Structure 1
Amino acid sequence: MADAHYFLAVPLSDDARTILSDWREELKEEVSFKSWVHPLDFHITLAFLGSASEKAISLTKEKIGAISSFYPAFQLEINGLGTFGKQESPRVFWAGVQHSEALIKLQKKVHEACKEVGFSLDSRPYSPHITLARRWKEKSPLDVKKIQTFNIQAGVTSFPVQEMILYQTHLNRTPKYEAISRFSLMGE
């Protein structure tokens, strides 16, 4: 179990996942990436834990369970597409989410709890997103206008955040993320 990698994330609703799947299919011909994320793997990461002992995972479950038992459910809005990395050859293609104080506060609580367990976490500012694809594969640069045009047409999609999930990564299968534990948020 120590070689496995884990992370905590907010899952998408079935409706939001379907909409992003449709966007992905529509854009696959327009934007060329080496690997596209399976729709069942769409999520918003709260904390990437990496490898962990059974004891660390057990402590994490306790702490995240305590957070979720009093944290209220909330709504998020997906509001467009973008990239990370060089504009002409991006490493990540993502769907963004509207700024949400509820999400920012939840991520901060999760991050603090995981650090208390002893995880060494990413210290960069939190940038919530849903990864759709990775690694640009063309020699010619990405035409950003195609994404901008799509964003204008796509509009905004809202979905409820009602739980957090502790995932384990399986690199040799698709979908590659397995839900190990689910933590329901308190009702609205």
Structure 2
Amino acid sequence: MNEQIPPPTTRVFIALAPPDDAKDELARALRPAYDAYPRMRWNRIEDWHITLAFLGELPVTAVPLLRPPLAELAAARGSVRLSMHGGGHFDERVLWSGIEGDLEGLQLLASEVRGLVKECGIDFPDRPLRPHLTLARARRDDPSSVLGAAAVLDSFTGRSWRAARLHLVGSNIGRGPGPIHYRDIEAWPFGGGPPPA
């Protein structure tokens, strides 16, 4: 009996990334939390992103299907103006910074991206968009760290910025011990036109 070997997979999402100076501004605000809560699993600053669509584990053969339509979408529309603001947590486990600015434009972009993915025949968990930037995760035995770290960001308001590119990202989450790392599979600049009405 021949056993079918499933195709290799990769964990994929589509996202926006703040510019370096906006990330540096947030990192400076987080310094007291870095010092006070060193046991938290802090995301690398270069991995900070705003997820528009989390696609989960995809066969690597599905990823090329996304490239042309994502490139076309980015080229056809303007970017959104956003900023990071405050902090919070999901279930005392995940620390995040909130997102402000053109949230209507962000929701529209996420809807366009998700519709495009569905048109490519890719099934994924289509959860409501909750705009945020994930910063860290608490260890199971230390939930209070997230609450303290979120309080550090209570009064934080970052500068406004425009998302420059649409990113198709792969991650190694769930592939063994060690930190989560993300890598751009590809990124496309926004065309600079006004967002669709």
Match of 1:24 in 2: 30
Number of residues of Structure 1 aligned to a counterpart in Structure 2: 183
Match of 1:108 in 2: 111
Could you say which structure has the larger radius of gyration?
Answer: 2
TM-score normalized by structure 2?
0.80
Distance 1:146 1:161, change over 3 A: closer
Contact preservation (8 Å) 1:9, 1:164: yes
Contact preservation (8 Å) 2:138, 2:145: no
Per-residue deviation, 1:148: 4.3
Per-residue deviation, 1:33: 5.6
Q: 1:50 aligns with which of 45, 49, 56?
A: 56
TM-score normalized by structure 1?
0.84
Match of 1:161 in 2: 163
User: Could you say which structure has the higher strand fraction?
Assistant: 1
Distance 1:119 1:135, change over 3 A: farther
Distance 1:92 1:174, change over 3 A: closer
**Over residues 23-80 of structure 1, what are the superposed CA-to-partner deviations in whole Å (9 max), with x where a residue is unaligned?**
3332124456631100010000111122223442111111111211111023101111
Contact preservation (8 Å) 1:162, 1:185: yes
Q: 3-state DSSP class of the match of 1:113?
A: helix
Per-residue deviation, 1:149: 6.1
Name the Cα RMSD after superposition: 2.5
Match of 1:66 in 2: 72
Q: Which amino acid letter does the alignment assign opposite residue 57 of structure 2?
A: S
Percent of pairs with identical residues: 25
Match of 2:125 in 1: 122
Partners in 1 of 2:10 and 2:143 — Cα distance? 37
Distance 1:109 1:120, change over 3 A: same
